[in-house]
Chains A and B, each alone.
Chain A
Amino acid sequence: MKAKWQIVMLSAVLAVILSAPVMGADTIKLGGLYNLTGGMSSIDAPALNGAKLQAKLINEAGGVLGKNLEVIGIDTKTDQKAAATGAKKALAMGVVAGLGYGDTTFVMAAAPLFQKKGVPFVTSGATHPMLPKWVGDYMFMVPFGDDDQSFAIAEYTVNKLGAKKVAVWTDNSMDFTKALSKFYKQRITELGGTIVLEDFFMMGDKDFSAQIARLKNADPAPEAVFVSAIPNEAGLTVKQIREAGLTLPIVSGDGFDTELVTTVPGDKLANDVYFSTHTYREDNRPEVLAFVKAYEKEYNRPPENAFAALGFDAVGLIADAIKRANSTDGKALRDALAATKGFKAVTGEISYTRPSGVPMKGVSIISVKNGKYKVEEVWYPKN
């Protein structure tokens, strides 16, 4: 009994001691809200690493406004409640801007609190095109919107692959995959194509034989299949479609931007796959090469995915705005962010010229042929 109380007391004392903030005297604080544990951690943890790396590089080059930049990583545990408290915590610590998340759900729990306090929030990876409208004028997006990536691959399907009759598979369990399919179908029909078959599956499905059977028997026969999936299902669907002897092109969005597309089916079967994604993979612009090199040096491994680069860009974007505003005041910083034009980010140039608040950004179309990734073209939105 006594020993147990000692443990309890010890941990309590430890907690109190460590609660005392160990802050540098004069830093510009940014709140990095990410789900570092739980289901979203494979996407969010690299993003925070990217963000911290950018801050480190900026500090080594002299900092911003003569001060060091500090990214305070706050783990929100893939839990909306923790996202809301995390945001309040960051605001109470006096951050000048917030950044974070690869998923819209969590942005919507945190960002409105920043909006209310007049502190800008930059999401590094959430792609819902309505986000800035839902949250308000202090909300900024680093990535393109889901509509842009769907339009890009839809135009590629019709114009370059020459497929006008397409089948659409949708993961019906996620908002992101549903939105992707919606915009894809919209643009295909606008371009004079037809959706000959629509099929659904759920996140975590392992067997796609029913969908494949319907795909084989569809009449008229589809000339391409759009698979709206996240990484887990990306590799599996490619493998099973190809194993069934179907050779039609498989197209998708940034959910396919993963090694699983080639490792799960193997190089032979990973063929004739096309997807739209952030301009980062297989890209050799100097920003990309420098980022990959710095990341490898800092963490002893290559960047896990595009979200690492997006986190890196989020901090870069904020630092750039602080410099131009010459201030860390919320209003001035917001105005500077909104005026961002041609910011050279790792994931492409960012300009906020649209009324929707979604950046005008290039979208890479990447092909996979016999297990090799190649950038086919970079698509730019027209307005």
Chain B
Amino acid sequence: MSDVDTRPGAILKNNLWTSNPIFMQVLGICSALAVTNLLTNTAIMTIGVTFVTGFSNLTVSLLKKFMPRKVRMMVQTLIIAFYVIIVDIVLKAYLPEISRNLGPYVGLIITNCIIMGRAEAFAQSNDPIPSLWDGVTSGLGYMGVLMVIAVFRELLGFGTLFGFQILPDAFVPWTIMVMPPSAFFLLGIIIWVGKAAMNREGAPA
């Protein structure tokens, strides 16, 4: 039914590298800009996204046989919103501190284009287990890039990593790294480096 290679290894490589949602498809970058100035927040946020992408893909795939075509996007949104609210509730109940730090961004996972993109492009036409795997690996692809951005932003913006002081006190933090524009610069650099590496591999860019 689809021409997508559904072997687990192929999905993994595809989502982490050759069509990485962030640096190849440039999807979901609003949150990439917003939450990447501290590693801890980035980690929790991307784990949340991975969870939502994985399970919404699984659920969409399970329900696809019963779904009337004209309302499928509505149902996908409903499913995604469901998992996002679950993540929000769990954070509020068990990690109140981080929930406060992330503020509105958890709710905004709903609007992350990666999730609906995967539901539409993969889960809608594949079996549940590969769909779950596709969702999880897409989330990991997102996590990978965001964590790299966050390492640079936190290190240069605060001199810390995961809140631990790394750079000496004499280091003057770069305020720009804390602000959203720096994520644009870093994302641009990552796309450049990624594409360059891919060209060397001989893959079609």
| A and B interact | no
**B residues neighboring A (CB under 8 Å):** none
